Amino acid sequence: MKAALSQLIRSLNVRGWSPATSTNYSFIDEHQQIWVSKSGVNKADFTDSDFMTIDKDGIGTGMFHGVKPSDETQIHLWIYKHFTDAKVVLHSHSKFPVLISQFNEDYFPVQGYELQKGFKGCKSHLESLQIPIVDNQQDMQLLCAALDQRIQDIQHHCFIIAEHGTYAWGENLFEAQRHLETLDYLCECEFLR
Ligand SMILES: [Zn+2]
């Protein structure tokens, strides 16, 4: 997992989805251990050794005791707590979801796109989907409280944080990447339209 996710992190950086050391990524391994990307690493150079282990409160464990992960680790933990099928969580600072959030409040509405079937469970381009948009917060307790309020609206393994970016997840890396890319593509199409 570490090698495959590191490679994905570098390739997303090439696409401009993680400028200036931003974004964070995590996965749960076969021993139910949560691994998260270390804070402050240039994602162009991200390697297997740039992950750290954390406990369920987001505190560094084992050889990473005393290492502080990104504050946004709390969002990863919120996703794992509430979506128990999630095993990989990806975060993006790509531009189109940020732009879309400037023209939509509360929801990003999607209908008519073949690619919306990239969301697990979506069978037709005719389905009307609504991707939640939550307000950005620097206080992660407030952000997680806002997510608590919207939990029923989160139906497609992703959400947008306004003028910030996206989170997407899946049962495995393949599915998490598909959800992240599906959302980004839909944001790009709607914004350019
Ligand atoms: Zn972020």
Find the 72 Cα to ligand 1 centroid distance in Å. 7
Q: Tell me the DSSP string of 115-149.
A: GGGGSTT---TTS-EEEEEE---SSHHHHHHHHHH
Find the 64 Cα to ligand 1 centroid distance in Å. 22
* Domain of 115, in residue numbers: 2-192
Range 99-109 average pLDDT:
96
Find the 91 Cα to ligand 1 centroid distance in Å. 7
Instruction: Give me the residues paired with residue 108 across strands.
Output: 131
pLDDT of residue 54: 97
Least Cα distance to 72 among 136, 156, 151 occurs for 136
Range 94-101 average pLDDT:
97
Range 127-139 average pLDDT:
97
Find the 137 Cα to ligand 1 centroid distance in Å. 10
Find the 129 Cα to ligand 1 centroid distance in Å. 24
The pLDDT tens digits for 79-88 are 999 999 999 9
pLDDT of residue 87: 98
Q: What's the domain count of the chain?
A: 1
Find the 124 Cα to ligand 1 centroid distance in Å. 31
Find the 125 Cα to ligand 1 centroid distance in Å. 30
- Model pTM score: 0.97
pLDDT of residue 110: 96
Find the 30 Cα to ligand 1 centroid distance in Å. 26
pLDDT of residue 153: 97
Find the 126 Cα to ligand 1 centroid distance in Å. 31
Query: Which SS3 state, helix, strand or coil, does residue 183 take?
Result: helix
The pLDDT tens digits for 48-69 are 999 999 999 999 999 999 999 9
pLDDT of residue 165: 97
Write down the mean pLDDT value for the chain.
97
Range 149-174 average pLDDT:
98
pLDDT of residue 128: 97
| Secondary structure element (H or E) that encloses residue 187, with its range | helix 173-192
Range 15-21 average pLDDT:
94
Find the 113 Cα to ligand 1 centroid distance in Å. 27
Find the 31 Cα to ligand 1 centroid distance in Å. 27
Domain containing residue 90: CATH number: 3.40.225.10
Range 89-114 average pLDDT:
97
